[in-house]
Amino acid sequence: MTPNNNIAIAIIASETNRNGEWAWGRVGSTTCASTKVVLCPLWGRFEDALRVWEHGYGRAASHCTDLKQILELEELLANAKLNGHAVCEEQAMGSSCTVTSSSESDSGSAPKSHRNDQNIEITSAIVNACESVGVMEKNSITIEPHDVGGVVEESSVISRPREGVMEKSSRARVSKTTSVFVDFRLSQGIAEVNEGNYDQAVSTFEKVLQRNPASPEALVGRGTAYAFQRKLELAIADFTMAIQLDPLAGEAWKRRGQARAALGEIPEAIEDLTKALQFEPKSSDILHERGVVNFKLKDYTAAVKDLSSCVLSDRKNETAYTYLGLALSSLGEYTKAEKALLKSVQIDPKFQEGRTHLSQFYHELAQVEKASKCIQNLISIDNRFAMAYYLHGNLHYGLGDHRSAIKDLSVALSIESSDLESLYLRASSYHAVGDYVEAVKDYDTVIDLKADSMDKFVLQCLAFYQKEIALYTASRVTLEFTVFNIDDDVHPLFKEYWCKRLHPQHVSENVVRQPPLKDALKRGRLKKQDYTFTRQKEILLEAADSIGKRIQYNSPGFLPNRRQYRMAGLAAIDIAQKVSKAWQSLRAEWKSLRRSGAKGNRKNRKSEMGSVASQNRGGAGCSSQSSGSSSSYNPDDDRSLRLRFVISWHDVYSFAVKWRQISEPCDSVVWVNRLSEHKNSAFGSRTSLILGQGKVVRYFPYYQRTLDALKNIMKERAFVNNKANEVVDLTEVKMLQAIVNAECVADLYNIIGQDFWLATTCVSTAFEGKQLEGTRITVEKEDKGFDFAIRTPCTRPRWEDYGAEMTAAWETVCNHYCGEAYGSTDIRMLDNVRDSILRMTYYWYNFMPLSRGSAAVGYVVMLGLFLAANMEVNESIPKGMQVDWEAILSPYPDMFVDSMKAWICPSLKINTSWKELPDVSSAFPTTGLVVAALSTY
């Protein structure tokens, strides 16, 4: 007989016939339905026959692939038992026949030893016959009997669902007392789970539990079926009960760990999976599972350890390689991470999850060509894969190509119409290019959708704020760009909640909302002709693109953004044109004063200084008043007074801030001191270098320098501040020596024993001997590592100090240029002007007065001031250098100036051609035209 015949075999032992010969009958059929159970009407031993039947049935059942036939056999066996008892009773009434067990001896039966020999022979015949039936395919359930009625291991493999962490593989331990009925119901249930018939599987396992409520195998099976139905609480309850019944059931520990991970109970999941590994220390399955959970727990070191062990024994596990790559990337091991991610797609070229993460990896590192190629491969594999179009749209968005982003995101939404991330990103893209009707429509859709995660909920909150900003901008598209003023026009509470991404309910109840779109667009909207430019305007945009590209950081993580290039170039030219006019006016005033020999009254000038400072749009916190005297300020020189009246440092930087706000409307770029007053002391920008165990790709390159700076300041001051702003003394020699020997953030934390911070040094130029509070370097303990970051405090005294410092620095710039160097085209004559511009840039970066965007704004203003002084930076920022970090980590302004001069001086060229360019304010006078200029390439 072959496995395909599925022939049921019944061998029934009967008593010897009258001639003393043993008779055994075989009844078989190609279909179980036609099988007849024959109890030989001899002097039969029906109990022995039934026992052997059960034995053979159990063996055959272990190898049969047709559960339906097995269940029919089971029914026939039950009928046989009933018939056997009926025959026995009939014979008992009509004869002296007595049915006894095989272990008993009577006068009418063969000797005991002979009967046992025959039983062994019969059992052997059953086993041999049943073994010819064969076993099931390896990708289905396999029941391998170690002994008849003994331990049975069940193994099944089911593919992992994309959204979950449950893996359908099990090794359920069946007890020695488990009946054949239970064995096959368990097999049936697992087969149904394999096939995805979860409701049927639950029903099957419940039948087992009705007969045996204390079956850990059935509980594990039903729990697995529940888990795949996302009924995770029910699944965990079943796995927990199974563990209580049998604490050694490793499968139950693993399954509960998986379910807990899917439910978000990450620490508990790790505990369960660790317990499961005690039963199977080298299980690649469990190592894989725990590695993924460790990754989600952000324990990247543990994830790398588990997943590396997993792929050593399971080299074809593409999912394990993917998560190994992600964990390595988080730890900053980018070369190893790329290798692991590439391995995942080499194993399975159509593995979407692997290619998705690989493209995101390249995007994070700003490797545009590789990211784009990877996304194209995803689309070629499946042109209906919505995520691929979202990734492409997101990449285009990061490159400043919002129109291409809209096309890709629209395709993604045609496939998955309610994808919240795609809707939000498309709304932001419409917003950026001035299509406010479509932007508001998408924002509204995002707000109305149901968010199933915290990240999506944050996007919904942002959509509320972005919609209001879109309506505000729409109401000003035909007005002059000077009227666009988020800092003055938008409520402080709104701006604060927007920056902090807080729930908008409080804002919506207490802040007057923007007019609806219909009213906002009453004055007009962007038209096609707004995107058509004259040749003169095109020349202006070409010059802007050339100048603006100099803002690019040549470091991992910073995408080349064409829109930001154009913004930076237009802003720099705009600043140069405005400042040049102010300097021209100042120069004329200065010459007039020199001719007239006017000296003025010092007392009146001091009084006037105070009144002029109040006009500073930065508010009281940006006042130019100070208690000290500026080393660069001459009270007898009317140039400073006149200049502040015409244009202040705050005005200069505000020009750049406005351009930055309009170029990327979904970035909350605002002056921090214009936020809600009662929150000013708490708000400040924050940039992490390490977050837990993760190394932030953009800023980790400055980790060692920041750590060294912190150690030097700790040693110099011999104290730090704790979280409560209390002073922690470090004067003990042992502590100071330990600080010197510290090699990482963890070492410093162990010395202090608590969270702490210390501000960098920023030496004043305006006030001799004064030190300003720089940026705070903070160390905070987290579950799996540390948050090592820089934070800018927002306190009134600090704003007053930096306001005075910036005022003095700006006066120095103006005085240097409007003196002997005015209008010069000799680069050597402009050395003092160059250094004073760099010095003011140094204080801006230590000030960091914006909620975000301070780095870009500071560099744009620097480029604009160089242009105004007839100098142009012709080289890009050197590889690996981030100008704002150079300033933050330099305690003295001259240190920063010298580091910048090392590469800027050779690149500075005299340039007066910018003066022939059209006036930016005249070429693009309205907000709508500015948006159009930024949205056309």
Torsion of CA 302, 303, 305, 307, to 10 degrees: 160
First CA to last CA distance, the chain: 77
CA distance 885 to 877: 13
Distant-in-sequence, close-in-space partners of 168: CB < 8 Å, separation ≥ 6: 156, 157, 158, 159, 160, 193, 194, 224, 228
Closest to 270 measured CA to CA, from 299, 248, 245, 241? 299
Give residue 183's pLDDT.
Answer: 75
CB 711 within 8 A of CB 889: no
- Check whether 318 has a pLDDT greater than 70: yes
Q: How confident is residue 640, by pLDDT bands cut at 50, 70 and 90?
A: very low
- Number of neighbours of residue 916 by Cβ within 10 angstroms: 8
Q: Which amino acid is at 836?
A: S
Q: Which amino acid is at 749?
A: Y
User: Please, what is the average pLDDT of the chain?
Assistant: 80
Residue 212 is encoded by which pair of tokens?
């045996």
Question: Residues 215-244: what's their mean pLDDT?
Answer: 95
**H or E element, residue 389:** helix 386-398
CB 811 within 8 A of CB 646: no
Distant-in-sequence, close-in-space partners of 194: CB < 8 Å, separation ≥ 6: 140, 141, 156, 157, 158, 168
CB 564 within 8 A of CB 664: yes
* DSSP-derived secondary structure for 487-525: HHHS-HHHHHHHHHT--THHHHHHSPPPPPHHHHTTT--
- Check whether 629 has a pLDDT greater than 70: no
CB 790 within 8 A of CB 776: yes
CA distance 576 to 553: 22
Could you read off the pLDDT of 534-576 as tens digits, one per residue? 999 999 999 999 999 999 999 999 999 999 999 999 999 999 9
Question: Residues 33-60: what's their mean pLDDT?
Answer: 51
Number of Cα atoms under 13 Å in the Cβ half of residue 621: 17
Give residue 70's pLDDT.
Answer: 57
336 burial (CB, 10 Å; 0-12 / 13-18 / 19+) is middle
Query: CA-CA distances (angstroms) from residue 229 to 198, 226, 843, 931?
Result: 7, 5, 59, 49
Query: Which has the higher per-residue pLDDT, 763 or 45?
Result: 763
Label residue 196 left, alpha or beta by phi (over 0 means left) and psi (-120 to 50 means alpha). Answer: left
Q: How confident is residue 83, by pLDDT bands cut at 50, 70 and 90?
A: low
CB 859 within 8 A of CB 551: yes
Could you read off the pLDDT of 880-937 as tens digits, one per residue? 999 999 999 999 999 999 999 999 999 999 999 999 999 999 999 999 999 999 998 7
Share of the chain above pLDDT 90, in %: 65
Question: Residues 471-499: what's their mean pLDDT?
Answer: 93
CB 887 within 8 A of CB 841: yes
Distant-in-sequence, close-in-space partners of 761: CB < 8 Å, separation ≥ 6: 713, 771, 774, 891, 892
Query: Which has the higher per-residue pLDDT, 527 or 726?
Result: 726
Q: How confident is residue 509, by pLDDT bands cut at 50, 70 and 90?
A: confident
CB 252 within 8 A of CB 220: yes
CB 168 within 8 A of CB 196: no
Closest to 24 measured CA to CA, from 113, 94, 115? 115
Q: Which amino acid is at 440?
A: V
Could you read off the pLDDT of 581-624 as tens digits, one per residue? 999 988 887 777 766 664 444 444 433 333 333 333 333 333 33
CB 59 within 8 A of CB 127: yes
Could you read off the pLDDT of 810-843 as tens digits, one per residue? 999 999 999 889 999 999 999 999 999 999 999 9
Closest to 808 measured CA to CA, from 842, 775, 855? 842
Distant-in-sequence, close-in-space partners of 678: CB < 8 Å, separation ≥ 6: none
Query: CA-CA distances (angstroms) from residue 264 to 330, 576, 621?
Result: 21, 54, 45
Q: How confident is residue 45, by pLDDT bands cut at 50, 70 and 90?
A: low
Give residue 97's pLDDT.
Answer: 35
Query: Which has the higher per-residue pLDDT, 636 or 860?
Result: 860
CA distance 669 to 19: 107
CB 572 within 8 A of CB 540: no
Question: Residues 717-732: what's their mean pLDDT?
Answer: 94
Give residue 850's pLDDT.
Answer: 95
CA distance 189 to 205: 6
Could you read off the pLDDT of 251-263 as tens digits, one per residue? 999 999 999 988 9
CA distance 908 to 875: 8
Q: How confident is residue 7, by pLDDT bands cut at 50, 70 and 90?
A: very low
- In terms of DSSP H, where are the helices of 170-230? 180-194, 198-211, 216-228
Ranges 146-155, 164-173, 373-382, most confident? 373-382
Q: How confident is residue 631, by pLDDT bands cut at 50, 70 and 90?
A: very low
Residue 760 pairs with which residues in a beta bridge?
Answer: none
Query: CA-CA distances (angstroms) from residue 521 to 446, 514, 536, 765?
Result: 22, 12, 29, 49
Q: How confident is residue 118, by pLDDT bands cut at 50, 70 and 90?
A: very low
Question: Residues 776-804: what's their mean pLDDT?
Answer: 93
Give residue 46's pLDDT.
Answer: 58
Q: How confident is residue 98, by pLDDT bands cut at 50, 70 and 90?
A: very low
Closest to 115 measured CA to CA, from 100, 102, 98? 102
Query: Which has the higher per-residue pLDDT, 615 or 855?
Result: 855
Could you read off the pLDDT of 730-778 as tens digits, one per residue? 999 999 999 999 999 999 999 999 999 999 999 999 999 999 999 999 9
Residue 850 is encoded by which pair of tokens?
């914006």
Residue 391 is encoded by which pair of tokens?
């990734």
Question: ∠ at Cα 387 (381, 388), nearest 5°?
Answer: 45
- Check whether 156 has a pLDDT greater than 50: no
CB 520 within 8 A of CB 428: no
What is the spatial order of strands in the sheet that 785-791 belongs to?
A: 694-695, 686-692, 785-791, 771-782, 756-763, 719-722, 727-729
Question: Residues 803-809: what's their mean pLDDT?
Answer: 96
Indicate the range of 39-53, 103-117, 123-137, 553-567 predicted with least confidence.
123-137
**H or E element, residue 758:** strand 756-763
If you ran DSSP here, which 8-state letter would residue 174 be given? E
Question: Residues 471-486: what's their mean pLDDT?
Answer: 93
Closest to 847 measured CA to CA, from 799, 906, 779, 903? 799
- Check whether 211 has a pLDDT greater than 50: yes
Q: How confident is residue 519, by pLDDT bands cut at 50, 70 and 90?
A: confident
Ranges 67-81, 166-180, 792-806, most confident? 792-806
CA distance 382 to 439: 29
Question: Residues 659-666: what's their mean pLDDT?
Answer: 95
Distant-in-sequence, close-in-space partners of 903: CB < 8 Å, separation ≥ 6: 875, 878, 881
Query: Which has the higher per-residue pLDDT, 150 or 605?
Result: 605
